[in-house]
Amino acid sequence: MNSITVVKGTPYEQGIIQGKELSQIIKNNIENVKTKLVADKVDMVRYNSFVESNAKFMEKNHNDLMEEMRGIADGSGICMEDILLLNIPAYFMTQYLNQECSMVMVRGKATYDGNTYLIKNRDMGCMIEQAVIKRENNNGNSMIEVSGAGVVTYPASGMNNYGLGVTTTGFWSKSAEPILSEVDAAHIFVNIRLLLDNCKTAKEVIEYIKTSPRMNGLNIIAVDEKDAYAIETTRNSMYIEEDDGRGVLYRTNHYILPETKNLNPDPQQYQSTYKRFERIGEMIKERYGKLRFQDLFRIMSDHENGINSICRHPKGDVLGQTVSSSMVILEDREAWTTIGNPCMNLRYASLAEKR
């Protein structure tokens, strides 16, 4: 398998290429989802009905995504029902806290070179192997995204040719549970693939989200070479933190802003998100004004706090695992990705350190 899958043409043609190149890991991802659903003792009749209803919403409102899924099915030889199972990620909702992610944006005077860096660790309780996709669309637009192999609906992060970078972290709380009856009229989360397809700037992302129906809350960072925002979305609202000039925005899996903090999960019941957030802040402070490429990957490889660390490894009953660490550098229009934990897949050695 190539390290980067380049897709061109119509959505269906792009799907065909993915299906052919990534067929085995797509099959693996589907089997992992099915195993998780069995382990969670999901009522599969109700679950399949949920997937079917959301697929009808996608078909009506975003047929291009459905065409790409059909291409993946035909290219891989996998039935469309299984491709839909992978692309409509209700498996994230079968229990809370099974997707734990951390994201950081630094730029301007926070960094050594003044460049804009956006990095995310994608952590999952269900192993979905990731792929790097470079898209070249017929309309001249292009983008790079990191997503689960075979998944076209909810990438982990991405950047388009206009210099817009977007990434997300999930929000999980019993104070903000989704309304499942909206399945036929809303996305499960804000779909950042659509943000990258339809927006050129971070301000356009805010306007797009205003009209994007969704069932769950999500933290989003949207950044271009001028503006940067952390956007805390709930099911029906959003609240915005703008870069105040320090050049730093970051989030884990809870809310920070005063309008949304009351929805947060209990820190004692969900220590991971608070520990990771605190640790990111500490590490940024240590290198503020000197942050470079390697510092961001060092943050994302950090193991302070054990099972509550930024770089996640499953242990005992804690199933969260970092499945990718992806960074975009806007000014260079470059993306760098580790598939799996950054501590294991981005090799590091230093002559300046003695161990």
Query: Residue 122 forms beta bridges with which residues?
Result: 324
Question: Mean per-residue pLDDT for 217-230?
Answer: 97
Contact residues for 260 (Cβ-Cβ < 8 A; gap 6+): 232, 234, 239
pLDDT at 2 (0 to 100):
45
Q: Which residue has the higher pLDDT, 92 or 290?
A: 290
CA dihedral 173, 177, 178, 181 (to 10 degrees): 170
Residue in 135, 11, 115, 136 with CA at minimum distance from that of residue 327: 115
- 47-96 pLDDT per residue, tens: 899 899 999 999 999 999 999 999 999 999 999 999 999 998 776 655 54
Contact residues for 149 (Cβ-Cβ < 8 A; gap 6+): 18, 22, 25, 26, 29, 128, 129, 130, 131
The residue with tokens 């669309």 is 137
pLDDT at 96 (0 to 100):
43
- How far apart (Å, rounded) are the C-alpha atoms in residues 11 and 30? 21
Question: Mean per-residue pLDDT for 227-249?
Answer: 97
Question: Mean per-residue pLDDT for 308-327?
Answer: 90
pLDDT at 212 (0 to 100):
94
Share of the chain above pLDDT 90, in %: 78
pLDDT at 95 (0 to 100):
52
- How far apart (Å, rounded) are the C-alpha atoms in residues 108 and 228? 11
* DSSP one-letter string for 127-139: ---EEEEEEEETT
pLDDT at 10 (0 to 100):
97
Q: Is 317 buried (19+), middle (13-18) or exposed (0-12) by CB count in 10 A?
A: exposed
pLDDT band for position 127 (cuts 50, 70, 90): confident
- How close are the terminal C-alpha atoms of the chain, in Å? 36
CA distance readout (Å), 43 to 86, 177, 185, 240, 241: 17, 19, 22, 38, 40
pLDDT at 99 (0 to 100):
61
Decide: helix, strand or coil at residue 10: coil
Contact residues for 271 (Cβ-Cβ < 8 A; gap 6+): 308
Q: Which two tokens stand for residue 144?
A: 């790079």
Question: Mean per-residue pLDDT for 244-270?
Answer: 94
pLDDT at 91 (0 to 100):
67
User: Which of 9-13, 141-145, 213-217 is predicted with the least confidence, judged by mean pLDDT?
Assistant: 213-217
Count of positions (residues) in the chain: 355
HEC string of 14-42 equals HHHHHHHHCHHHHHHHHHHHHHHHHHCCC
Prediction pTM value? 0.94
Residue 97 in this model has a pLDDT that exceeds 50: no
pLDDT at 242 (0 to 100):
98
- 144-192 pLDDT per residue, tens: 999 999 999 989 999 999 999 999 999 888 888 888 888 899 998 899 9
- How far apart (Å, rounded) are the C-alpha atoms in residues 32 and 150? 13
